[in-house]
Amino acid sequence: MNIGFIGVGHMAGSILRALSKEEGFSFYVNDHHLDKMMALEREYQGRVFVTVNQEILNQCPFVFLGVKPCDMNALLASLGKDHPRTIFVSMAAGYSLDELEMHLGNSRLIRIMPNTPVLVSKGVTFASYRRLSKDEKETFERMMTLTGKLHEIDEEKMDVVSVLTGSSPAYLDAFADALVHFGLANGLDEKEATEYVWDMVEGAALLGRESGKSPKTLKEEVCSPGGSTIEGVRVLDDAGFEQTIQKAAEASLTKTKNMR
Ligand SMILES: NC(=O)c1ccc[n+]([C@@H]2O[C@H](COP(=O)([O-])OP(=O)(O)OC[C@H]3O[C@@H](n4cnc5c(N)ncnc54)[C@H](OP(=O)(O)O)[C@@H]3O)[C@@H](O)[C@H]2O)c1
């Protein structure tokens, strides 16, 4: 199957790379940056074709729109309204199905919210659909298993999950970075400190998932009275760790809702 990408930067490029694991997929791409597309063409020889939007629409049943939200209006205006053969997949944060429909008319539409781990096929992506048949939805769901998990969601919840899973990898990276700095300050080198921190994150996530316990319960279980962990957690509590995370998430949510 041919899959189109208009705008193939960080996020759309990550999706393309995950989908490339399926040998049967070829990719028709267009981006402002020729160098980026030529690099993809070289990397996936014979499977990535650099072309213009009209050719993408002619060749591809699914077309991902990978441009920034502020570039969506201009792009959609240039595409026009009559697309009986195309299913558009928009990943633009804060850009609603109604807005897509205003530009693309009665086209079949998917609004998704992916996160960066799609690159390693461990992403979580949320999708809201408009006018897709059951078969088309199933084809899309099968395709997206290459990127990780896909959840269908009511569009009203899209902004919240975008913060919960789309912005939050950066919060986790900030937390991990702080731990790496602690390791460096206490005699570890950067390579070992980084490796140990990611091992911990991976293990803690798996334990959380497999134990079925809440994060709060797991935290309490590590905090034995008189132990060392509880001393650190007290410092986090006193410094307003929970409130800081809530404030960060609220700030991301406000921005998501007012993206343009
Ligand atoms: N990054 C994330 O974690 C994440 C998560 C979820 C959703 N998203 C969504 O993914 C989308 C892309 O974000 P990104 O971080 O991947 O952005 P990005 O790296 O800047 O990629 C966007 C690319 O599209 C190009 N472009 C803009 N208008 C175009 C047009 N009309 N035709 C062809 N190419 C065009 C841009 O070129 P110029 O540089 O010249 O503009 C750029 O190369 C956004 O809508 C964002 O909301 C991102």
The residues near 26 (Cβ < 8 Å, ≥ 6 apart) are 1, 2, 3, 47, 48, 49
Measured over the CA atoms of residue 76, residue 81, residue 85 and residue 87, the dihedral's sign is positive
Closest CA to 108 of 92, 93, 127: 127
The chain-wide mean pLDDT, for the chain, equals 95
- Ligand 1 centroid – CA 88 distance (Å): 15
Whole-number pLDDT of residue 178 = 98
Please list the residue range(s) of the chain that carry CATH number 1.10.3730.10.
Answer: 161-257
Whole-number pLDDT of residue 232 = 95
What is the residue with the minimal CA distance to atom 27 of ligand 1? 67
Looking at the CA of residue 169, tell me the nearest atom of ligand 1. 3
In which element (H, E) is residue 37 found? helix 34-43
Q: pTM of the entire structure? A: 0.93
Whole-number pLDDT of residue 81 = 87
| Per-residue pLDDT tens over the stretch 30-39 | 999 999 999 9
Give the whole-angstrom CA distance, residue 111 versus residue 119.
19
- Ligand 1 centroid – CA 247 distance (Å): 26
Tokens of 253: 């949510």
**pLDDT above 70 as % of the chain:** 100
Q: Helix (H) and strand (E) counts for the chain?
A: 12, 8
Q: Which of 32, 50, 147, 164 to mutate to test the pocket of ligand 1 (most atoms within 8 A of CB)?
A: 32
Tokens of 14: 């990550």
Closest CA to 68 of 123, 9, 114: 9
Q: Which of 6, 11, 91 to mutate to test the pocket of ligand 1 (most atoms within 8 A of CB)?
A: 11
Q: For 2-7, what is the mean pLDDT?
A: 98
Q: In what order do the strands lie in the sheet with 108-113?
A: 48-50, 26-30, 2-6, 62-65, 87-90, 108-113, 123-130, 148-152
Please list the residue range(s) of the chain that carry CATH number 3.40.50.720.
Answer: 2-153
Q: Does domain 161-257 have CATH number 3.40.50.300?
A: no
Whole-number pLDDT of residue 176 = 98
What is the residue with the minimal CA distance to atom 39 of ligand 1? 32
Looking at the CA of residue 94, tell me the nearest atom of ligand 1. 47
Task: Give the confidence band of 260 by pLDDT, cuts at 50, 70, 90.
Answer: low
Looking at the CA of residue 71, tell me the nearest atom of ligand 1. 28
Q: Which fold has domain 2-153?
A: Rossmann fold (3.40.50)
Q: For 116-127, what is the mean pLDDT?
A: 97
- Ligand 1 centroid – CA 71 distance (Å): 8
In this structure, the chain runs to a length of 260
